[in-house]
Chains A and B, each alone.
Chain A
């Protein structure tokens, strides 16, 4: 530690960005305690910590998005006290957000023209001229994207590259990336890291907020750790640190046991549920705007089994989940649930047969952020709570059921009436699991169930999925996180270009599966 402090002190002298006693509070909540640190130029710095550790608050204060409660910055030696986004950008600091900020309905050229410091059109301009000049700009940045494409239609990786290009067009010398890998596929992460190294070679200093230690070790020159709003490790060269040391710093004391474990243990499970729970036979879909069409996809999930679907994002995962749930019709082939052909049934009817789903995006698909917790848990099952004479609902019973479900899955909340949007990501995912697993489903589709969750919440979700499997449920796990798939799956299949490639049994060969995902020849 002394060596680390020495390095940090040395860095202070010629630091590109230095913070003194920066603190951030939202209302009464102290997100970041007074924090002082400095970043040396020309390096890739990683900032790590659990959800709620204060990483994003720190980044936002630095970028001028939130006004710090106290403290001051020095960017390139110039002092900035409570600066605005614009002032910070002029000083050469920019941020690429976790959720992208380019307007979804704009075309690429329009969006870039809007946000870029460098204008290509005058007060009036023709769209064609704008598209042409931005096309050159994009080509120069090595981006294969049409300036006429709509932002909302872009794959995540491309949208992110555009955000980076936007920041660099403003001559940023210090670039913050807030969890840039959270939404990327493994190969996307590789390409991003290559790009970051390239930027470092060009002299840009980078501050990358990361969740996964493997990524930190791979990319970062120095690592700083926040825990509970406090800096527990100033920027320290990563070569001096082991993954083990780092995880200790991030998590603090290890929890004795993940709470709320094994929700199925006390439920009464039919002793033997056998056979194929969920299957697709030669299923295909029509071409969609966002993903390749599925072509002759066949899969079968037995009771008590987790089938993992690996693949680079955008290779048909959403379509696969959509046809299995009934949110999208199959163009050919069939879908089977518990031995019954359900191809023509709606999602509603498939749920009635025992299918449950953890959707891709908990914020827009999983739960209504504006409705109270108890409604979010019970609304789908509302007809079950009719009074005896079936005239109206027993709200008391609904709230009791919701409270029991939330307690079983250890959701931390203040009141059943609070809006679901007030929950943290991990707690919201627990709520969704509590709702979807309440009826002990026979078939579960879990789409990216731990995306963006911290270590502890991820462990919890894994434990719940394993418990469901041990109770005889069949689970389809769609994930872009190979570690997760390796942890949980009994078999893995790879989805590439709308086709499902051969099954990989354990022990899983990271190399072989990775090659299948990107279509590498061996």
Chain B
């Protein structure tokens, strides 16, 4: 338990350092650091509605990061959550748009299922390429992100075009209010319940299932896994399907929740921030949930800050980027140190 606490504290070091560096940069550029700091606090926590706004971003971050945890534990670097999220949104928006006359009790589960399947399929493409052609997953998942954006653009200018516009904002028509799980605030009991269920499911999967333990072995020692007769391909395929399913579910919740429609530009960095969330959470479900709250707050502040200070929102993106950079550096540094001490023995 103590080592768990120590590990959590260690994870905070890069975050603190990122803020220090970021603020040094702001100060050097002539911004009022105190005002930015106050604005950050306001935007994430203190201003009216800001906590709700933080939670609004924490929820999708949490769900996507659950899938990232699974891939990183299996040793796969899937950076395609962004695309999986979009295709999940596409799968989710289909039912409400095509079956508007059916009751919500049928359409909403169908939409959620559509999101899960859409995300899983999109991720499954990268998984299949990896397993059967040993094709690099980093490249494939990254490129599938671009294809996903173009796919959505085709849908939003074609079959799912919003007829009230000329398609310039690349979005589908709004879905009927009866199918929505939340208003535009993005926080509701229904959404919270779904996130809790997803987190519980992910925790059982990671910590209490043969898949969870065996995928960890595949990730940490693939040769041992082979000599132990684990079905590595199966584990890999499952990993990708599950990761995509979580991202797709998050995409579906965006459509049924705050957005009310599918828009390509609504969440441009969510799938990437979720990777940082998973790593800051030490690839554990409770850790990722806490990290999601933190980065949700940061996201809320990013949107709020330009209102109260003259710092552009990209200022905080710098901090976000620094966090990702330093976390990765720490991750690699510790792995090197571990392997060094291993060869010492």
Contacts and interface: CB of A to CB of B under 8 A. Distances in A.
Q: Which of B209, B217, B227 is packed against the most chain A CB atoms within 10 Å? A: B227
A368 B230 contact: no
Nearest to B226: A327
A511 B226 CA distance: 38
Contacts of B342: 369, 421
B216 A371 contact: yes
A192 B190 CA distance: 73
A378 B208 CA distance: 13
Given A327-B227, A348-B231, A351-B229, A371 B210 contact: no
Given A351-B229, A392-B204, A375 B224 contact: no
B234 to A, nearest CB: 9
A347 interface: yes
B344 interface: yes
Contacts of A241: none
A430 to B, nearest CB: 16
A350 B220 CA distance: 24
Interface string B211-226: 0011011001101101
A42 B145 CA distance: 67
A480 B334 CA distance: 37
B214 A379 contact: yes
Given A379-B213, A382-B210, A383-B210, A370 B228 contact: no
A346 B234 CA distance: 13
Given A367-B224, A392-B204, A347 B229 contact: yes
A395 interface: yes
Contact of A393 (B209, B223, B230, B344): B209
Nearest to A327: B226
Interface in A359-402: 359, 364-371, 375, 378-380, 382-383, 385-386, 391-393, 395
Interface string A96-109: 00010000000000
A371 B220 contact: yes
B213 A386 contact: no
Contacts of A375: 213, 216-217
Contacts of A348: 229-231
A436 to B, nearest CB: 10
Contacts of B216: 371, 375, 379
Contacts of B208: 392-393, 395
Contact of B213 (A350, A382, A422): A382
A357 interface: yes
A89 to B, nearest CB: 20
B221 A379 contact: no
A26 interface: yes
Contacts of A346: 229, 231
A393 B229 contact: no
Contacts of A325: 227
A353 B210 CA distance: 20
A434 to B, nearest CB: 14
B338 interface: yes
Contacts of A421: 342, 345
A326 B220 CA distance: 22
Q: Which of A351, A379, A385, A391 is packed against the most chain B CB atoms within 10 Å? A: A379
A488 B229 CA distance: 27
Contacts of B344: 26
Nearest to B338: A370
A327 B227 CA distance: 8
Contacts of B231: 346, 348
B164 interface: no
Contacts, number: 76
Contact of B226 (A347, A350, A385): A347
Contact of A368 (B209, B217, B338): B217
Nearest to A356: B229
B343 interface: yes
A380 B229 contact: yes
Contacts of B214: 379-380, 382
B220 A368 contact: yes
Contact of B228 (A99, A326, A350, A379): A379
A350 B343 contact: no
Interface string B193-204: 000000000001
Given A364-B223, A365-B224, A371-B216, A392 B345 contact: no
B345 A422 contact: yes
Nearest to B208: A392
B238 to A, nearest CB: 14
A391 B221 contact: no
A176 B336 CA distance: 27
Contacts of B210: 382-383, 385-386, 393
B91 to A, nearest CB: 27
B204 A365 contact: no
Given A379-B213, A383-B210, A421-B345, A368 B221 contact: yes
Contacts of B221: 364, 367-371
B229 A350 contact: yes
Given A99-B343, A365-B223, A368-B217, A391 B229 contact: no
A421 B204 CA distance: 27
Nearest to B231: A348
Q: Which of B214, B221, B226, B342 is packed against the most chain A CB atoms within 10 Å? A: B221
A383 B207 CA distance: 13
B338 A380 contact: no
B345 A380 contact: no
Contacts of A385: 210
B253 to A, nearest CB: 25
A462 B220 CA distance: 30
A341 to B, nearest CB: 18
A385 B229 CA distance: 17
A470 to B, nearest CB: 26
Contacts of A379: 213-214, 216-217, 228, 230
5 contacts: A348-B231, A379-B213, A383-B210, A391-B204, A392-B208
Given A371-B216, A375-B217, A378-B213, 4 more contacts: A327-B226, A366-B227, A392-B204, A395-B208
Interface of A: 26, 99, 325-327, 346-348, 350-351, 357, 359, 364-371, 375, 378-380, 382-383, 385-386, 391-393, 395, 421-422
